[in-house]
Structure 1
Amino acid sequence: MTPTTGRRRRSLFAAVAAAALGVLGLAATPAAAQEWRGWNIHAADYPNGVGMDAFTRLVAERTNNRIRMRTFHSAQLGQQDEAIQQMRLGTIDFANFNLSPFNNLAPSTNVVTLPFLFRDVGHMQRAIDGPAGEAIARDLEAIGIVALSWYDAGARSLYTTRPVRAPADLRGMKIRVQTSDLWIDLMRALGANPTPLPFGEVFTSLQSGVIDGAENNWPSYESTRHFEVARFYSTTEHSNVPEVLAVSAQRWRRLNEQERAILRDAARESAAIQRRSWADRERVSRERVVAAGVTVIEIADRAPWAALMEPVYAKYAADARLAELVRAIRGMQ
């Protein structure tokens, strides 16, 4: 071997060694931190905000801040319909959504929105943590949204500017509903005039007489101060629709299996926190509006109301898959 050949081989070995060290160094370099944007329609101190903040904190801790999430509370990134579109496009990374606005996008969400389906909160939670949640998660993933866990949203009842004690009292009244065919048909079945409006416009619409009432749970009724302009709350408890904590499928596809497991575990833990916070907030909210002089009309017998829902079930649970899901939920102990 000539001196020149030896020098060439030593240079080649040095180059290979340097390249190997470079690869090892790259592999040892921590993954770049990810900055995620999250959407929440409620204030930070609302149970949903408490749950979401717990979720982001747990994820940051368990990924050593590789995934850093910031939740924009109080609908800072737009109203829910806008946020759903942003989520599907990937410009919002995670969010807590009510399921009703998905009724026209994800068929199985219609089932848990059906009126008078759940006997009580425990029944709803068992269903959404089981067969109902599994069905909905499949439908949501098909439109670009990955469900991680389920939050409580309470039983929804009617609140109005004049007393409502029976379905007949609703005839001709303009009642705000979410943007959903099912909710529109539900109110029509009760004899009301359904009026789809963004949630943020409800107070001024009640105040100005654009609508005569709306429907929601105790904390929403209290926290938005809707009780100041709609002084009658009728405990119809016609719906108990859970909410979803989800991430954009575009973000999800870029995660490894370990990161996905961390997000799922953190989401389930946050749901337990949110549910406890919800139960406390529901009790406090009712006490506050009663103290403020709201008239609570207790609906002891919901059977006359439920009897009017047959056309709604026939339309939205006629599909064999959805009808079977309704039967499964009703048959749960």
Structure 2
Amino acid sequence: MDPTPWRRGRLLLAALATAALGAIGLSAAPAAAQEWRGWNIHAADYPNGIGMDAFTRMVGERTSNRIRMRTFHSAQLGQQDEAIQQMRLGTIDFANFNLSPFNNLAPTTNVVTLPFLFRDVGHMQQAIDGPAGEAIAQDLERIGIIALSWYDAGARSLYTTRPVRTPADLRGMKIRVQTSDLWIDLMRALGANPTPLPFGEVFTSLQSGVIDGAENNWPSYESTRHFEVARYYSTTEHSNVPEVLAVSAQRWRRLNDQERAILRDAARESATIQRRAWAERERVSRERVAAAGVTVIEISDRAPWSALMEPVYAKYAADARLAALVRQIRELR
């Protein structure tokens, strides 16, 4: 009997076994580490920065540093409109954004931007953690952004270079707004002259008289030192727009299910941390500007203000889907 075919069979089996072992070794090998870049408009010690740093730390720990995230705080990678475009292109991997600049891109973000919609912070959180958040996340995904969790941004009020006690006091004043048609129409409805500007230009514009005022929350007013050039803060609390912690859809598509679950869990936990830090920072900021001599004008009756918002609701919540979401939010108890 010729032994050659038998020897050849043995050699072939050995080769196949070696290849199989090699394949097992390759599949068991750790995935290459991913380096992620993140954007944040605020300083690292701001509540949003604290939340984002907690998020990146948890993701690093839970992925054994397979996903290594670095947040570039203080708008190092550009202003918000630029960062949104970079996120959609995939050159920024994750970010914390205010929702107002998405008004022209994701229709449901208009709903949570509507003035005088939320009764208080608790009402806003209930809505954004529920029906409003689900609807907005769907819209954002369509433009290449995956929402993971929601941060607080406080109630926004007016601060100006001269006193504002009623809507009539705003007539003709140049008020900085974010780049959003809704915010422009909101200020027009109040009789003001809306002036879209990047956030980083507000201080010098107030100082030089290019604008007469702006609107934002207590921590933003205090941390940017806008209170030094706009000495009147009127507690209109006209808006309580939440913020989103999100990742680029391009990055998201390259993750497996386990990694996605890690990111979602870490993002939700970071939101709890951010909200707690936000409440404390809001209290401290108000105390600081009051101690600096700012005149705080308490607006106890907001009915004359909200009555002027009917044209805004008619324009931005007329669509059946958006009107239904407004009703759903108002009915939350």
TM-score by length of 1: 0.99
Letter in 2 for 1:73: H
Letter in 1 for 2:195: T
Match of 1:69 in 2: 69
Q: In the alignment, does 2:181 pair up with 1:193?
A: no
Once the two structures are TM-superposed, the CA of residue 8 in structure 1 deviates from its matched residue by: 2.5
Letter in 1 for 2:312: V
Match of 1:234 in 2: 234
Match of 2:117 in 1: 117
Aligned partner of residue 141 in structure 1, secondary structure: helix
Structure 1 vs Structure 2: percent identity of aligned residues? 89
Match of 1:273 in 2: 273
Letter in 2 for 1:24: I
Letter in 1 for 2:149: S
Root-mean-square deviation (CA), in Å? 0.8
Q: In the alignment, does 2:141 pair up with 1:141?
A: yes
Once the two structures are TM-superposed, the CA of residue 15 in structure 1 deviates from its matched residue by: 1.7
Aligned partner of residue 71 in structure 2, secondary structure: strand
Match of 2:29 in 1: 29
Aligned residues: 333
Once the two structures are TM-superposed, the CA of residue 9 in structure 1 deviates from its matched residue by: 2.5
Match of 1:80 in 2: 80
Once the two structures are TM-superposed, the CA of residue 27 in structure 1 deviates from its matched residue by: 1.0
Match of 1:168 in 2: 168
Moved over 6 A (4+): none
Match of 1:221 in 2: 221
Distance 2:15 2:251 in 1: 38
Deviation sequence 1:268-327 (CA, Å, 0-9, x none)? 000000000000000000000000110000001000000000000000000000001000
Match of 1:101 in 2: 101
Match of 2:320 in 1: 320
Letter in 2 for 1:152: D
Structure 1 unpaired stretches of 5+: none
Pick which of 55-64 and 41-50 moved more. 55-64
Distance 1:2 1:91 in 2: 65
Once the two structures are TM-superposed, the CA of residue 3 in structure 1 deviates from its matched residue by: 3.8
Once the two structures are TM-superposed, the CA of residue 31 in structure 1 deviates from its matched residue by: 1.1
Deviation sequence 1:126-162 (CA, Å, 0-9, x none)? 0000000000000000100010000000000000001
Distance 1:27 1:261 in 2: 21
Aligned partner of residue 107 in structure 1, secondary structure: coil
Aligned partner of residue 44 in structure 1, secondary structure: coil
Deviation sequence 1:189-238 (CA, Å, 0-9, x none)? 00000000000000000001100000000000000000000000000000
Q: In the alignment, does 2:92 pair up with 1:92?
A: yes
Distance 2:79 2:317 in 1: 28
Letter in 2 for 1:139: D
Distance 1:106 1:328 in 2: 19
Distance 1:21 1:323 in 2: 60
Deviation sequence 1:44-75 (CA, Å, 0-9, x none)? 00000000001011111111111111101000
Once the two structures are TM-superposed, the CA of residue 10 in structure 1 deviates from its matched residue by: 3.0
Distance 2:180 2:55 in 1: 29
Aligned partner of residue 308 in structure 1, secondary structure: helix
Deviation sequence 1:4-40 (CA, Å, 0-9, x none)? 3344223322221221111011011011111111100
Aligned partner of residue 276 in structure 2, secondary structure: helix
TM-score by length of 2: 0.99
Match of 1:39 in 2: 39
Match of 2:329 in 1: 329
Distance 1:61 1:49 in 2: 18
Distance 2:94 2:162 in 1: 39
Match of 1:211 in 2: 211
Distance 2:301 2:11 in 1: 90
